[in-house]
Structure 1
Amino acid sequence: MARKPVRAAIGDVWITCQVCDSDLFRERGVMLNSVGLEFLKMAWADETARGLICWRCGYVHLFVNKHIKLYRADK
């Protein structure tokens, strides 16, 4: 994996993987495409989410909460 791992929290609640309970992730933006905007060739206007991909098992967690904070993790 090319990117460095991060830890994430919303307020004072730390996020862990729903599958393997790891707290290390890599982050990427995810487009939440809708059929209507795709049909109208306006997919660029769709909402985006923050994807946290579990460093251990690869499960993808999606968040649209703008208050999520990422912290560098010393692996």
Structure 2
Amino acid sequence: MARKPVRAAVGDIWISCQVCRSDLFRERGVLLNSVGLEFMKMAWADETATGLICWRCGFVHLFVNKDIKLYRADK
């Protein structure tokens, strides 16, 4: 994996993986496509989410909440 791991929190609640309970993730922006905008060739206007990919097991968590904060983690 080329990217550095991050830890994440929403407010004072730290995020851990729903599958393996790890707290290290790889961050990625995710486009949430809708059928309507895709049909009109306007997928670029769809909503985006923050994707957190578990560093250990690979489970993908999606957050639309803009209050999510990412913190650099020393692995």
Q: What does 1:44-59 align with in structure 2 at a 5 Å threshold?
A: 44-59=44-59
The separation in 2 between residues aligned to 1:70 and 1:31, in whole angstroms, is 19
Name 1:24's counterpart in structure 2.
24
Q: TM-score, normalised by structure 2?
A: 0.99
Name 2:69's counterpart in structure 1.
69
Alignment size in residue pairs: 75
- AA partner of residue 3 (structure 2): R
Find runs of 4+ consecutive structure 1 residues off by over 4 angstroms.
none
List alignment gaps of at least 5 residues for structure 2.
none
- AA partner of residue 15 (structure 1): I
What percentage of residue pairs aligned between the two structures are identical? Answer: 88
